[in-house]
Amino acid sequence: IVDTYNAKNKKLEMAIQVPPLLKSYLPISIISSIAFANQGNNTWILNNFIQLFIPEGKEKLESFPFQDFMYYDQNIFQVNNVNDNNHFFSPDNIIDEIIYWLDHNNYLVVYADEYEIPDARNYKYYHILHSQFIYGYDYDLQLFFSVNFLKDESIGKFKISFDDLKSAIFAESTQKLFAESASWHNRNTLHEIILIRYLPDREAFYDHGINKEYILNEINNYYKSYNSSNFSGYFTGKLRGTWGLNVYSAIINILEKKPQLLDYRMFHLLYEHKYYMIERLTLFEISSKSTEELKDVFKSTSTLRLLCIKYNFRPNEAILRKMIHILQNIRNKEINILSELTHKYC
């Protein structure tokens, strides 16, 4: 417990890329933004944002490693989960502790009821236990620097006063949401702060660069719809669900149920996935025909995003049929593209 702490800085802003390069889900936005800001390139995204996955029993598209594993130790990150099981939280010293962690090069993910966070998307609108990403402070103005979803649904920077963040962390509504939380990492605690520390000085045998061998491996898993968790079980266990190119059939099944509302994040994730797949495949020699086909696939995912918005504004079966047709075409084109790549390199 920190009783009193004299801040090392009057003002501290740690490196962060805003707007983030990946926007589909906040955890991957945060990790990729820290990596890009510190490395100055897309290496983390190119090495990791490859496999796609829909967990068993859910209708939510994820990349793999997915959100549950973003806040784990990684090649370039040390991650610590601070909660009631390993730390005593007190309103008297929480601000000093947060400043101490920031001063020692930890980015923070603070969980609280977003209803209590001014300028956040759900402020005074909806009670939800959500992460607040903190990357610095201004001690004189008594403000923390944060990144989150804003009122206009974009991801951007804003400021939270010391008092507002403290009040949100210890609000009765936050405690109630923690008690009701179904999220595995929020269970059995009423407070949670995740510390993320970028590690630029790992030992020499840790390679921070592009890992072409691993990229090819994961592309092959994606192409053949293999369960990638079978190769990462030491960290993830075996994860049941739909993998790789098979996710297109699962998404089509969702659309065929004619839902009242479509999850836009699903189609935005496909859009981002194809955007970086184009860059990723420049690492290898593929035909100009495959390159052009992949660019067509990317354009198709942009169309899917627009159709999703149109459908959510006014549900229409004709839109669903068009989306299904596009998804089938995307899958067929990706089979052709990745067949060439895997036959040549794998």
Q: What is the pLDDT of residues 217-264, one digit of tens each?
A: 999 999 999 999 998 877 788 889 999 999 999 999 999 999 999 999
Q: What is the pLDDT of residues 21-57, one digit of tens each?
A: 999 888 899 999 999 999 999 999 999 999 999 999 9
Question: Model confidence at 203, in pLDDT bands (50, 70, 90)?
Answer: low
- Predicted confidence at residue 232, as pLDDT, reads 83
CB 261 within 8 A of CB 312: yes
The stretch 282-304 carries a mean pLDDT of 95
Q: What is the pLDDT of residues 89-114, one digit of tens each?
A: 999 999 999 999 999 999 999 999 99
Closest among 334, 320, 217, 218 to 267, alpha carbons compared: 320
Q: What is the pLDDT of residues 74-87, one digit of tens each?
A: 888 999 999 999 99
**Edge-to-edge strands, sheet with 51-55:** 62-64, 51-55, 241-243
Residue 98, number of CB atoms within 10 A of its CB: 23
**List of long-range contacts for 199-206, beta carbons under 8 Å, 24+ apart:** 199/76, 199/77, 199/78, 200/38, 200/76, 202/75, 202/76, 206/75
CB 137 within 8 A of CB 144: yes
